[in-house]
A and B are shown apart, each in its own frame.
Chain A
Amino acid sequence: MMRVQAPYTNLFRMQTFSMQSLRAGLVLVACLAVLICASVQPAGAAPNRVVADLSDDLVEINSSYHGTELLLFGAYRGMPGDDLILEVRGPSTDLLQRRKEQKAGIWINVETFRWLGVPSFYHVFSTRPLAEIAPLQTLTESGVGAASLGLRLAKSKGGGGSHHNGGDDSPVSRASASTDEQNAGLVRNMTGLGLWATRTGSVKTQQDMLYRTALSLPSNVPPGSYVVRVLHFRDGVAISESKTDMKIRKAGLSALIYRFAHDYSLFYGLFAIAFAVASGWLAAVAFRRN
């Protein structure tokens, strides 16, 4: 309950009255009143505002980590028929895409394409299918879907560049004919890995004021800085937007091993060997006595 109050307080500060001196209990009541007032006002008459929060803005990958689920929630000042799109984006990375072909009876990689600055994690949630919420161009301008991902192929590896001129329900837009297959493959592969997803109809709203959705992080989630973005759409137009940050990092023993392996790789290797020799010796001694 404490956490849920945060967005309300934020929302409240937006108003011109100075309410900071009021007690916490009054804040909530007053806030709800403002929300109700706002919802009956005509669109555009007051500054629109959507706020976002997470049940946890720091996810630690420790030894017992096997994926986790976060609650993504917040408040908005909506009207019936409004839509919300939520977007969770992980750190960008370069990515190699390989294509197999049958050569002499076996399937081997024959082509490699290098994609630049691809989000290693990209989950989109919405109240309805994206195409029903707004025209493709509006979505692109708002940075939802294809263009916002800024997907492009490195030129050197062949296959040509890719042009993105719109967005659809998949995170990648339709591109030029030569890269349709590559785009579809990228979405398919990343979705298969659980790193990309589009979940339409997954955002639940309450009385055009509150929204929530569940973000599930897979066990192979890439660590790094994440950005959560919420967009509020009315009649196919984005009327307000909000962002919040999230961090995913390795912690505990798994962080220790990872850092040891990368920062002191020589000692890590020696340690791994020493451990193996010691346990091999121990095993031989232990079972000899039996």
Chain B
Amino acid sequence: MYIYLPIAEVSMHIGVIIGLGGGVGFLSGLFGVGGGFLMTPLLIFFGIPPAVAVSTEANQIVASSVSGVLAHMRRGNVDFKMGGILMAGGVVGSSLGVVLFKFLQSIGQIDLVIQMSYVVFLGIIGALMLTESLRTIIRSRKSGGVRRKLHQHNWFHGLPLKMRFRRSKLYISAIPPLVIGALVGVLAAIMGVGGGFIMVPAMIYLLGMPTAVVVGTSLFQIIFVTANVTLLQSIQTQTVDFMLAGLLLLGAVIGAQFGSRFGARLRGEQLRGLLALVVLAVCVKIMFDLALRPEDLLSVELLR
């Protein structure tokens, strides 16, 4: 059964939409990531206009982040103060991102920038995660366990505006989280992702937050960043397809439940290693798309 998507202005098989939501939802439940970095390229691949894919995915991530954050809140794994500061940066950054998106669209380079961002960020994050998880696996086989310092001190621990973050057991300047929030916000708006896959490593390695609160806090701020993108894109470009978001969500909710149950059987470093492979696969696929000669060098875009 086909369903006509009123904003994307194409029809798609309802099973494909729910299946996409379910498949990506499964992986997101399995790895504890939002899955936007998989969903947005897939939607574009299935013929959804890139602008609609990015905006609609932002809308869908609002829902998956809300349902994710509730689980983390019950366990007390959300640092609201840190989340609030990241969010403040994120709202500013994503607002800039939406403006940048429209500009890039007008000069015809939005596809290129989306693809380049994917290659660069997925490549870096994937490679880092893979080496880290391999090292952990090797080390844990050699010696009994891994011991790490609570957090390392960087140059930016000397910045002003110091604040105490009780849940994160940190006393650091508010400037780094603001800047990180803003940068990830820009990327979230352009790439149609929540940005968790960048935010989480940044929180661990740059801010030195304890891993227990990282995912919950990241999800908390993603809600606001993606809600901001949804609102701004609705107003500015009218590219949020409510019908598409709703159907994706239906699949994603169910898929995520299976994913998280399945994930509970795997070990942390194995999970991270697998996720790294998925991330790198997406990265390589997009890299090929950019490097291979397109079937047609000319393309058209109808202005409505």
A interface with B by C-beta (< 8 Å): 61-67, 93-102, 105-109, 112, 120, 181-182, 185-186, 188-190, 192-193, 219-220, 222, 250, 253-255, 257-258, 261-262, 265-266, 268-273, 275-277, 279-281, 283-285, 287-288, 290
Contact = CB atoms under 8 A, between A and B. Distances in A.
A104 B134 CA distance: 33
Contacts of B107: 112
A287 to B, nearest CB: 5
B98 to A, nearest CB: 11
B45 to A, nearest CB: 16
Contacts of B63: 275-277, 279-280, 283
A277 B304 CA distance: 31
The 6 closest A-B pairs by CB, nearest first: A269-B234, A280-B66, A185-B298, A66-B2, A280-B63, A254-B6
Interface string B275-304: 000000000000000111110111111111
A63 B112 contact: no
A280 B245 CA distance: 12
A280 B252 CA distance: 10
A279 B68 CA distance: 12
Contacts of A219: 2, 4, 10-11
Interface stretch (B144-152, B156-164, B195-203, B235-243): B235-243
Interface in B46-73: 59-60, 62-68, 70-71
Given A93-B302, A109-B108, A189-B298, A257 B67 contact: no
Contacts of A283: 63, 67, 253
Interface of B: 1-7, 9-11, 59-60, 62-68, 70-71, 107-109, 111-112, 223, 227, 230-235, 238, 240, 242-243, 245-246, 249, 253, 257, 290-294, 296-304
A190 B299 CA distance: 9
A96 B303 CA distance: 7
Nearest to B243: A257
Contacts of A107: 290-294, 297
Contacts of B245: 272, 276
Contacts of B109: 108-109
24 contacts: A63-B243, A64-B2, A65-B11, A66-B11, A93-B302, A97-B300, A100-B298, A107-B291, A107-B292, A182-B298, A185-B298, A190-B300, A219-B2, A258-B7, A266-B231, A272-B59, A273-B62, A273-B227, A276-B59, A276-B62, A283-B253, A285-B70, A287-B253, A288-B71
B242 A257 contact: yes
Contacts of B290: 106-107
Contact of A261 (B7, B66, B223, B296): B7
Contact of B64 (A66, A105, A280, A287): A280
Given A95-B300, A273-B231, A255 B294 contact: no
Among B4, B231, B243, chain A packs the most CB atoms within 10 A around the CB of: B4
Given A97-B299, A185-B296, A261-B234, 18 more contacts: A63-B6, A93-B303, A95-B300, A107-B292, A185-B298, A188-B298, A189-B298, A261-B6, A265-B235, A269-B230, A269-B232, A269-B235, A275-B246, A276-B62, A276-B230, A279-B246, A281-B66, A283-B253
B108 A277 contact: no
B302 A65 contact: no
Contacts of A261: 6-7, 234, 238, 240, 242
Contacts of A271: 242
Contact of A64 (B1, B68, B242): B1
Contacts of A95: 300-303
A257 B234 CA distance: 12
A135 to B, nearest CB: 30
A72 to B, nearest CB: 22
A93 B303 CA distance: 6
Contacts of A287: 253, 257
A102 B242 CA distance: 37
Contacts of A290: 257
